[in-house]
Amino acid sequence: MNEFINYIKQYINLSKEAEKDICNLVLVEETQKGHVLLREGKTCERLYYLVKGTLRTYHYQDGKDITYWIYPENSIISSWHSYILRKPASEYIETTEDSTLVSLSYDQWQELYLKHPKLERFGRLILEEQMSMIDDFFKGYYFLTAKEKYELLTTAFPSVTQRANLGHIASMLGISQETLSRIRGK
């Protein structure tokens, strides 16, 4: 719980009352590797903070599991399209290690925003950070070689490349596992 409160405090000054309200509402979950937090077709109801472990988002295409993203500790995770627009998700969210998660529902965040307007700034800053990270990572991404894609990932998220399943990393990068193994071997 303290990790999440400290995470918020990196973005805004948090009043004791707001901190108490968050602590009263937050759900803390200890999950095992392979636990599915969200399934395709379900509306994402929660915004997660990953205290410990790793997660991935993925979808199925032609029966094949395709990883979108791998999240390390101290990350905010959601199916953004589903969570914000209140629509069914086109993806899955799954733990890839035993994990500890802190989360609040969409409705809980809306209540907190009304009661503590400073928290709206936190929400906006998180969205801006997520959008800029996605934009930065994928801008020009399709023009990179397999090696350049892996180097970009290791620069941006070094812990992911050491902890995540090679198949998930290769899928996220759009390359074969064999190609990834050759790149890592060099």
Task: Assess whether pLDDT exceeds 90 at residue 176.
Answer: no
What's the average model confidence in pLDDT over 72-98?
95
Sheet bearing 92-95, strands edge to edge? 36-38, 92-95, 55-61, 64-71
Given a contact cutoff of 8 angstroms between Cβ atoms, the answer to whether 123 and 113 are in contact is: yes
pLDDT digits (tens, 9 = 90+) for 25-48: 999 999 999 999 999 999 999 999
**Least confident residue range of 11-20, 70-79, 141-150:** 141-150
Residue with more model confidence, 132 or 21: 21
Task: Assess whether pLDDT exceeds 70 at residue 140.
Answer: no
Mean per-residue pLDDT over the chain, rounded: 91
Residue 30: name the closest of 62, 52, 8 by CA.
52
pLDDT digits (tens, 9 = 90+) for 109-120: 999 999 999 999
Q: Where are the domains of the chain?
A: 2-105+114-178
What's the average model confidence in pLDDT over 144-173?
83
Sequence-distant (6+) residues with CB within 8 A of 9 are none
Looking at residue 150, its pLDDT comes to: 86
User: Per-residue confidence at 20, pLDDT binned at 50, 70, 90?
Assistant: very high
Query: For the chain, what percent of residues have pLDDT higher than 90?
Result: 63
Sheet bearing 99-105, strands edge to edge? 27-31, 99-105, 46-52, 75-77
- Looking at the structure, give the CATH architecture of the domain made up of residues 2-105+114-178: Sandwich (2.60)
What is the distance between the alpha carbons of residues 182 and 81, in angstroms, rounded to a whole number?
35
What is the distance between the alpha carbons of residues 176 and 9, in angstroms, rounded to a whole number?
40
Query: For the chain, what percent of residues have pLDDT higher than 70?
Result: 97
Given a contact cutoff of 8 angstroms between Cβ atoms, the answer to whether 78 and 127 are in contact is: no
pTM of the model: 0.84
pLDDT digits (tens, 9 = 90+) for 50-84: 999 999 999 998 888 899 889 999 999 999 999 99
